[in-house]
């Protein structure tokens, strides 16, 4: 995946945080999805749809783009304008109540969203796993807390995040939350390499929240946080 191929689709006004393209590029570079054109991929927490566009173009598969806070109609207009409207189905539903069929998806991707709704033990097993095909794959890239500060999110991050600090969890804690269901073949979790580049792209914008984050980058964000990469492969049967 060439990040430069998507710069034209990623103007500052569409960015919602650290550059999601860089997170997705690292995940795809490390674990390329094994999918066919007829396979279905769920982009869970797609925001304004940029990650869905990239997933569609890089894999050729059918993408279901879900985000609760942007209407399906708004994202559909964007997908049609980008020329991928026939390949991507926009959805606007709560991640806690997904309306999909059993084993509907060959893969799931979630960039900078999963930590908002999946921070309780049992969520993956109860809310995600039923929709995944056997031999399926899951790729997640989210902000988190470095392993050496595990369990101290509220103490260290509240000055920046306030009551949302608890959402930032370490790779070690995310491994516990994913669990050990019998359908899982392997789970890999790591601190991602793209941290500085993704943040630099975001902080270079003049968006209100970027300006706010800039005040805390050197004192809180950089020393204590990371991006957590998660790869899950399901057993074939």
What does the pLDDT read at residue 11?
A: 73
Sign of CA dihedral 100, 106, 111, 115: positive
Walking along the chain (237 residues) 10 residues at a time, the average pLDDT comes out as 82 85 97 96 96 96 97 96 97 96 97 96 96 98 97 96 97 96 97 98 94 97 98 94
What does the pLDDT read at residue 220?
A: 98
Is there a contact between 104 and 131 (Cβ–Cβ < 8 Å)? yes
Is there a contact between 191 and 228 (Cβ–Cβ < 8 Å)? yes
What does the pLDDT read at residue 167?
A: 97
Pairing of strands 88-91, 105-111: unpaired
Residue 170 tokens read as 């370490």
> Would you tell me how many other CB atoms lie within 10 Å of the CB of residue 2?
8
Please choose, from the candidates 133, 46, 136, 129, the residue with its C-alpha nearest in 3D space to the C-alpha of residue 89: 46
Specify which residues 44 forms β-bridges with. 66
Please choose, from the candidates 144, 160, 158, the residue with its C-alpha nearest in 3D space to the C-alpha of residue 212: 160
What does the pLDDT read at residue 13?
A: 73
What does the pLDDT read at residue 33?
A: 95
Domains and CATH numbers, the chain: 3-234 (3.40.50.150)
What does the pLDDT read at residue 10?
A: 74
For tokens 């990650």, name the residue: 51
What does the pLDDT read at residue 188?
A: 98
């Amino acid at each position: 995946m060439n990040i430069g191929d998507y710069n034209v689709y990623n103007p500052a006004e569409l960015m919602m945080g650290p550059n999601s393209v860089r997170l997705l590029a690292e995940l795809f570079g490390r674990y390329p999805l094994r999918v066919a054109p007829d396979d279905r991929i769920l982009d869970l927490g797609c925001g304004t749809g940029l990650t869905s566009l990239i997933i569609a173009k890089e894999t050729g598969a059918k993408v279901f783009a879900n985000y609760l806070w942007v209407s399906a109609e708004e994202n559909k207009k964007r997908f049609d304008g980008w020329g991928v409207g026939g390949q991507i189905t926009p959805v606007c539903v709560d991640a806690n109540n997904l309306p999909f069929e059993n084993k509907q998806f060959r893969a799931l991707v979630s960039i900078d969203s999963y930590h908002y709704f999946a921070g309780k033990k049992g969520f993956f097993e109860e809310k995600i796993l039923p929709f995944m095909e056997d031999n399926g794959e899951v790729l997640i890239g989210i902000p988190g807390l470095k392993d050496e500060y595990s369990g101290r999110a509220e103490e260290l991050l509240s000055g920046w995040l306030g009551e949302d600090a608890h959402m930032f969890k370490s790779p070690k804690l995310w491994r516990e939350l994913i669990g050990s269901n019998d359908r899982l073949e392997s789970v890999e979790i790591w601190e991602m390499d793209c941290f500085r580049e993704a943040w630099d792209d975001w902080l270079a914008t003049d968006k209100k929240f970027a300006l706010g984050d800039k005040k805390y980058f050197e004192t809180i964000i950089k020393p204590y946080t990371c991006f957590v990469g998660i790869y899950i492969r399901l057993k074939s049967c």
